[in-house]
Amino acid sequence: MLVTVQCHRCGKSFAITPSRFRHGEGKFCSRTCRAESMTLRVNVVCCKCGKTFRVARSKVKNGRGKYCSKLCAGFASRPLVERFWSKVKKTETCWLWTGAKSPAGYGYIKLSSEGAALVVLHDCPGGDNPSCVNPDHLWLGTQADNVADMDKKGRRVSKALRGAEHWRHRKTASQI
């Protein structure tokens, strides 16, 4: 005994066994229709930035494909202020950044899809603490101010780091 169903892609009627029907199979009359259904792309407008982009129709049917990029999808999830404060741990003197950090220990967070950035300099009372985000210990400045501050604190690397001196090294000379 066969069950007659209609192809989800072309609308053609075809017959399948009852067991295939019960297991959710038999949506397409052929492999060609199935493949075309999966790869068929439609134009969608991004919910965040309004940009038009192409996405697989199957994603739209499943409630996905609302954003043009991971960046837009991430920003749609929570406002910047909420994302910022979820990554701050307050202590008596410093407010420590627990989110993403550079190799030098400075915290960072993406501000907008354009990637805008400000130069924030540190002046913590107990010494320099790159993870500190307490507004009383921070001040805005230009890139020139930041370089002058690095020089004053002896942080600027004056020569190119090579081998084991470089922060991204994997093996020392003795391990090779």
For 43-100, write each residue's pLDDT tens digit. Answer: 889 888 889 998 887 788 777 888 888 778 775 566 777 878 888 999 888 888 888 8
Whether residue 39 has pLDDT greater than 80? no
What integer pLDDT is reported at residue 158 of this predicted model?
65
How many Cβ atoms sit within 10 Å of the Cβ of residue 29?
20
The Cα-based distances of 12 to 1, 21, 36 in angstroms read 19, 16, 15
The contacts of residue 45 (CB under 8 Å, 6+ apart) are: 51, 52
Mean pLDDT of 162-175: 75
Report the C-alpha gap between 155 and 146 in whole angstroms: 11
Ranges 25-34, 65-74, 153-162, most confident: 25-34
Indicate yes or no: pTM above 0.75.
no
Q: What is the mean pLDDT of the chain?
A: 79
Confidence class for position 12, pLDDT limits 50, 70, 90: very high
Within 13 Å and on the Cβ side, how many CA atoms surround 23?
A: 7
Whether residue 36 has pLDDT greater than 80? no
